[in-house]
Amino acid sequence: MMRSRLALVILLAACSGRQNALDPASAQNRSITALFWAMFVVAAFIWFVVTVAFLVPAVRQRRTTREDAEPALELPAETSRRQTRLVSGATAVTVLILLVFLIYDFGVGRALATHPARALTIELVGHQWWWEVHYADPDPSKIVIDADELHVPVGQSVQIKLVSRDVIHSFWVPNLIGKRDLIPGYTSSIFFTADRPGVYRAQCAEFCGHQHAKMALDVVAHPAPEFSAWLERQRAPAADPSDSLAANGKRVFLSAACSKCHAITGVEAYGTVGPNLTHLATRRTLAAGTLPNTRGNLGGWIVDPQSIKPGARMPSNQLESRDLVALLAYLETLK
Amino acid sequence: MSLRCRNAGWKRGARRTSGVRLAALMASVVLIAGCEREARRFQESPPTASPTGDPLVVSDLQPGPAVVVSNVEAPYDDNAWAVSEGKSLYNAMNCSGCHFQGGGGIGPPLMDDDWTYGSEPQQVFASIAEGRPNGMPAWKFMLSAQQIWEITSYVRSLSGLNPKGARNARDDHMMRKPPEASTPNARPKNSTAPR
């Protein structure tokens, strides 16, 4: 009893959540989910009918057949005609159902592929093993470069342009839209319109190397005004640290290896190999969804990333402990 | 007669069997060696404390008596994965900005047999870590020793100084030069004076 109740709870829990294709949060995924349920219900009904049609005669036959009776070689003409009619009828119904689903499926596919008249364009760059996000703007000083989090406004069509810097990755937010590959040397794109605020989890869906499993992306859907405010905050350069510890940390950042790969807007750090850290402290996770963004995790990640995510491009850093403390204090000011 | 024939046939069969066995053994040796080719060693204590701390000869010109070059073995020369990591670092750190894809331009070429500061692994390591006059920056504050060793092995692969099986066989970009695996092995020579 207890176990069955637990199983039911788990089953129901699977019906909602931040990474679930059956819990749609976009207009596109709603139509896909509707198609899925229509196919599922019809197929389940047919399966039930076929199973019953198979079992009923089997049971009935068993009751009536005697072991020594000769099997009838020829069916009576009436039975034969009836069976022919039945099989042709079932075939016609099958063709009809498949045809209806073909048209339905084609319609959904067309709707997904239609370019919206106006869409916000966001470029997503796949790296081994993290995501780089560019919020385009005609004014170069307003371009925002972020990492491992994709923010979108609710109710507005968003075009995600997908490129890759190394190998093939795949963008997949089960709650919002199906998969689309990121292919090196080629720009693919996908559209969706989030219709409910929330945080959804995306996952690289194409095996891309050692840490493919730890390549997640949080997709945050904000109400439109909140999104504009967020974008405005992201445009601001990093504030100069006010206390001496953080100021010291900034010096550590610039003199150690950090600035070779990471950029911070407003500071002489221009590396483009690793994620942009201008607003690191506002992110939910570190290393593409590997760790929650806390001070302890950040310190561990800086000192020994190869234990946390073996093979990641970030090398282990041997820092003096006071340098590390200062560096962490500085990184925490990057709001 | 027939017995001898059968006997001979049996012997021939035995020889064939041992030949097959030998071939299988050799194939498995090759296959097992292939497993090592891409061994990924993510967590390494820095190989040798500091190869640049030893007296290092970078040119034929030497004051005083000849110095014996310490023979540090490059940890990644035979590791294909590390060499390709070195290649991606070479591009990521913009080595190609000066040395281009090995052909040289602003910096000296790296795919020829001419080595101003020596072609031995520890000499190449020192050149990258400490920098060289006329523009080569010192990378030891910017990269870990492991990463510099990876770049060292890649740079050596450009002129075929590491085992062929570990070199890149294909390039991701359009290239006028053949891939490293098809580069003939150069015989390195030290040029007498830094350019």
Give A 36-55 residues with CB within 8 A of chain B.
none
Give me the DSSP letters along B113-174: SEESS--SHHHHHHHHHH-BTTTBPP-TTTS-HHHHHHHHHHHHHHTT-S-GGGS-SS-SS-
Q: Which residue has the higher pLDDT, A24 or B49?
A: A24
Q: Which of B42, B88, B172 sits opposite A310 (nearest CB)?
A: B42
Asked if pLDDT for residue A232 goes beyond 50, the answer is yes
Tell how strand A198-203 and strand A216-222 pair up: antiparallel
Residue B86 and residue B167 in one domain = yes
How many CB contacts within 8 angstroms connect chain A with chain B? 30
Residue B85 and residue B180 in one domain = yes
Please choose, from the candidates A278, A282, A275, the residue with its C-alpha nearest in 3D space to the C-alpha of residue A301. A275
The pTM assigned to this predicted structure is 0.81
Residue B95 and residue B175 in one domain = yes
Best mutation target among A186, A260, A309 (most B Cβ atoms within 10 Å) is A260
Its domain, for residue B23, covers 1-37
Q: Which residue has the higher pLDDT, B22 or A133?
A: A133
* % residues pLDDT > 90 (chain A): 70
Buried b (16+ CB within 10 A) or exposed e, A251-274: ebbeebbbbbbbbbbebebebebb
Calpha distance A334→A332 (Å, rounded): 5
Would residue B87 count as lying in a domain?
yes
Residue B89 and residue B25 in one domain = no
Please choose, from the candidates B149, B145, B19, B30, the residue with its C-alpha nearest in 3D space to the C-alpha of residue B83. B149
Q: Work out the average pLDDT over A221-234.
A: 95
Average pLDDT, chain A: 90
Query: Residue B105 carries which DSSP code?
Result: S
pLDDT band at A2 (very low <50, low <70, confident <90, very high): low
Best mutation target among A211, A316, A317, A320 (most B Cβ atoms within 10 Å) is A316
CB A312 within 8 A of CB A211: yes
- The residue length of chain A stands at 335
C-beta neighbour count of B65 within 10 angstroms:
6
Backbone dihedral region of B94: left (phi > 0), alpha (psi from -120 to 50 degrees) or beta? Answer: left
Residue B27 and residue B123 in one domain = no
Which residue(s) pair with A189 in the sheet? A161
Calpha distance A120→A133 (Å, rounded): 13
Q: Which residue has the higher pLDDT, A83 or A105?
A: A105
Q: Read off the amino acid at residue A75.
A: L
Please choose, from the candidates A330, A105, A126, A143, the residue with its C-alpha nearest in 3D space to the C-alpha of residue A239. A330
Calpha distance A329→B180 (Å, rounded): 45
Residue B88 and residue B181 in one domain = yes
Which residue(s) pair with A291 in the sheet? A286
CB A187 within 8 A of CB A163: yes
Subunit contact A166:B43, Cβ cutoff 8 A: no
Closest CA in chain B for residue A257: B142
Residue B33 and residue B85 in one domain = no
Q: Work out the average pLDDT over B102-120.
A: 88
- Angstroms from A134 CA to nearest CA on chain B: 19
Q: Which residue has the higher pLDDT, B11 or A86?
A: A86
Subunit contact B147:A315, Cβ cutoff 8 A: yes
Instruction: Supply the ipTM of this predicted assembly.
Output: 0.74
pLDDT at A9 (0 to 100): 55
Q: Residue B184: give its domain's CATH number.
A: 1.10.760.10
C-beta neighbour count of A145 within 10 angstroms:
18
pLDDT at A67 (0 to 100): 62
Q: Which of A273, A310, A316 sits opposite B92 (nearest CB)?
A: A273
Which range scores top for mean pLDDT: A40-49, A318-327, B16-25, B116-125?
A: A40-49
Subunit contact B143:A256, Cβ cutoff 8 A: no
- Angstroms from B14 CA to nearest CA on chain A: 46
State how many domains chain B has: 2
Tokens of B53: 């701390």
CB B127 within 8 A of CB B57: no
Write out pLDDT tens, residues A281-316.
999 999 999 999 999 999 999 999 989 999 898 988
Asked if pLDDT for residue B166 goes beyond 70, the answer is yes
Subunit contact A306:B141, Cβ cutoff 8 A: no
- Angstroms from A168 CA to nearest CA on chain B: 13
All residues at 6 or more sequence positions from B76 whose CB lies less than 8 Å from its CB, including other chains: B82, B83, B86, B149, B150, B152, B153
Subunit contact B142:A257, Cβ cutoff 8 A: yes
Tokens of A208: 């891309």
Give B 42-101 residues with CB within 8 A of chain A.
42-43, 88, 92-93
Q: Work out the average pLDDT over B92-107.
A: 90
pLDDT band at B69 (very low <50, low <70, confident <90, very high): low
A289: Cα separation from own chain's centroid: 12
Asked if pLDDT for residue A99 goes beyond 90, the answer is yes
Q: Work out the average pLDDT over B125-133.
A: 91
Q: Which of B141, B142, B144 sits opposite A316 (nearest CB)?
A: B144
Would residue B51 count as lying in a domain?
no
Residue B29 and residue B88 in one domain = no
Write out pLDDT tens, residues A137-154.
889 889 999 999 999 999
Write out pLDDT tens, residues A109-135.
999 988 888 899 999 999 999 999 999
Give B 4-43 residues with CB within 8 A of chain A.
40, 42-43
Closest CA in chain A for residue B92: A273
- Angstroms from B151 CA to nearest CA on chain A: 14
Tell how strand A291-292 and strand A157-164 pair up: unpaired
Would residue B100 count as lying in a domain?
yes
CB A129 within 8 A of CB A289: no
Would residue B90 count as lying in a domain?
yes
pLDDT at A322 (0 to 100): 94
Would residue B117 count as lying in a domain?
yes
Asked if pLDDT for residue B174 goes beyond 80, the answer is no
pLDDT at B18 (0 to 100): 76
Taken in order of first residue, the domains within chain A and their CATH numbers are 17-61+115-234 (2.60.40.420), 244-332 (2.60.40.420)
Asked if pLDDT for residue A220 goes beyond 50, the answer is yes
Would residue B50 count as lying in a domain?
no
Would residue B91 count as lying in a domain?
yes
CB A128 within 8 A of CB A313: yes
- The residue length of chain B stands at 195
* Whole-number Cα distances in Å, A138 to A65, A135, A232, A266, B52: 83, 10, 15, 20, 49
Residues of chain B with Cβ-Cβ distance to A130 below 8 Å are: none
Tokens 């048209």, residue located: A103
pLDDT at B195 (0 to 100): 45
Would residue B27 count as lying in a domain?
yes
All residues at 6 or more sequence positions from A106 whose CB lies less than 8 Å from its CB, including other chains: none
CB A148 within 8 A of CB A285: yes
R_g of chain B computed on alpha carbons: 23
Closest CA in chain B for residue A309: B42
pLDDT at B47 (0 to 100): 46
